[in-house]
């Protein structure tokens, strides 16, 4: 596969319109034996990937992905994105935003065969949590050369 524009566009559209109902279309975007890795999960296969996203909907409210940049060459692509959400169950939880990047590899049929997310869970998530955030921020200051 030499042109990633159509497969990348399909992935971007899938993520930017992601909902519990749209997960039924996951096989249009991911190959049956696709691998998925993020800071919390490393899974293989459509049922396991779908489970990751169903769990996301249990943990957060109103999740929304927005792809801010994309580039592809051959059978690979990179996406820069923002993920906005509210923590579920937190009283008056403010809007959270995680910024990250995704490396994708495509199978010959244009579906994703490998998906790896890169984002700093310490800075983007843990530092914002009560109690845990205090410890993470203290460690960050302690390890800083500045």
CATH number at residue 21: 3.10.450.50
Structural domains in the chain (count) = 1
**For residue 129, is it left (φ>0), alpha (ψ between -120 and 50) or beta?**
beta
Per-residue pLDDT at 125 exceeds 50: yes
CA distance 30 to 46: 7
CA distance 64 to 18: 7
Q: Rounded mean pLDDT of 60-65?
A: 93
pLDDT in tens, 68-108: 999 999 999 999 999 999 887 766 668 889 999 999 999 99
Q: What is the pTM of this model?
A: 0.82
Q: Specify if 68 maps to a domain.
A: yes
Q: Specify if 141 maps to a domain.
A: no
The pLDDT of residue 122 is 63
Q: Specify if 23 maps to a domain.
A: yes
* Helices marked H in the chain: 5-16, 26-29, 46-59, 121-124, 132-143
Q: Specify if 124 maps to a domain.
A: no
The pLDDT of residue 79 is 98
The pLDDT of residue 1 is 41
Per-residue pLDDT at 132 exceeds 70: no
Contact 36, 48 (CB under 8 A): yes
Confidence of residue 52 (pLDDT cuts 50, 70, 90): very high
Q: Specify if 35 maps to a domain.
A: yes
Domain range spanning residue 66?
5-119
Specify the DSSP class assigned to residue 83. E
The pLDDT of residue 37 is 97
Q: Comparing C-alpha atoms, which of 52, 55, 36 is closest to residue 44?
A: 36
């Amino acid at each position: 596969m030499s042109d990633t524009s159509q497969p990348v566009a399909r992935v971007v559209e899938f993520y930017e319109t992601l909902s519990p109902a749209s997960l039924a279309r996951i096989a249009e975007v991911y190959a049956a034996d696709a691998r998925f890795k993020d800071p919390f999960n490393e899974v293989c296969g459509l049922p396991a990937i779908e489970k990751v996203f169903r769990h996301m909907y249990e943990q957060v409210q109103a999740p929304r992905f927005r792809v801010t940049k994309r580039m592809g060459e051959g059978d690979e692509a990179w996406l820069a994105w923002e993920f906005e959400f509210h923590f579920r169950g937190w009283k008056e939880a403010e809007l959270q935003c995680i910024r990250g990047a995704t490396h994708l590899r495509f199978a010959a049929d244009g579906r994703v065969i490998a998906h790896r997310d890169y984002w700093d869970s310490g800075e983007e998530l843990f530092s914002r949590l009560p109690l845990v955030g205090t410890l993470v921020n203290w460690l960050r200051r302690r390890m800083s050369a500045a």
